[in-house]
Amino acid sequence: MNELFVLHAEICKTLANPKRLEILNALRGGEVSVAEMLRTLRLPKANVSQHLAVLRSRGVVKARREGLNVYYRVANPKIIRACNLMREVLMEHLAQSVRATRKWGVVSRAGG
């Protein structure tokens, strides 16, 4: 069982990067070419390649080459479901924070 916790922690570390989460979000609809990802994400190619390499090495995404193009997809659809679930939890948390702020009349001041 300890090995399972170690693996779980490793996957969480892999997903603990906002750019990698953006990449996964770009892949939620299915297979996408690197060229399309670059257009969608507006990140430098080297940066996207680095993150894709990490995701691929951890088994989160799979790659397929077709001619000069490389296509990526999420290795297991449950990964997207897990991300969706976490996003729901975070949205609920944010909504509760907003309600608490309004209830207590706390006003946030931007910039200071």
Average pLDDT over residues 63-70: 96
Buried-exposed string 76-100: b where 16+ CB fall within 10 A, e elsewhere: eeebeeebeeeeeeeeeeeeeeeee
Tell me: the pLDDT tens digits for 3-15?
999 999 999 999 9
Query: Mean pLDDT of all residues in the chain?
Result: 90
- Orientation of helix 2-15 relative to helix 18-26, angle to 10°: 80
CATH architecture of the domain with range 2-75: Orthogonal Bundle (1.10)
Tell me: the pLDDT tens digits for 46-58?
999 999 999 999 9
Handedness of CA 35, 37, 41, 45 (dihedral sign): negative
- Single-letter amino acid, residue 65: R
**First CA to last CA distance, the chain:** 47
Helices (H), the chain: 2-15, 18-26, 34-41, 45-57, 77-103
Residue pair 69/34 in contact (Cβ under 8 Å)? The answer is yes
Residue pair 104/110 in contact (Cβ under 8 Å)? The answer is no
Q: What percent of the chain has pLDDT over 90?
A: 81
Specify the pLDDT at position 99. 78
